[in-house]
Amino acid sequence: MNICGCLVHVAPRYADAAAADMAARDGVEVHARSEDSRFVVVVEDTPQRMASEAIMDLHQIPGVVSLTLTYHHFEQLPESAARQPSMPAT
């Protein structure tokens, strides 16, 4: 399991579209946005894609000026947990 905290700087005229694009991606959550178009984003592994691949894709969103990895947590999951999707709490 990878959890990555990132700071994404976007050109102001692209900020709304970039925010929507980031939020629509699996494993990506936009947590905050500043007035100068900087976003706090968390990226996690999904069953289909590693966080590192998702981060590389975020660089390609139109208007993204820079993306900086500011936090990284890695935890090796037991083999059985890594293969099974998590179930929502009830």
pLDDT tens per residue across span 40-79: 999 999 999 999 999 999 999 999 999 999 999 988 867 6
Exposed/middle/buried for 52, CB within 10 Å: 0-12, 13-18, 19+? middle
* Four-way CATH pick for 2-76: 2.60.40.10, 3.30.70.920, 3.30.70.260, 3.20.20.70: 3.30.70.920
pLDDT tens per residue across span 4-24: 999 999 999 999 999 999 999
pTM score, two decimals? 0.79
Of 66, 77, 13, 72, the C-alpha closest to 39 is: 66
3-class DSSP assignment, residue 31: strand
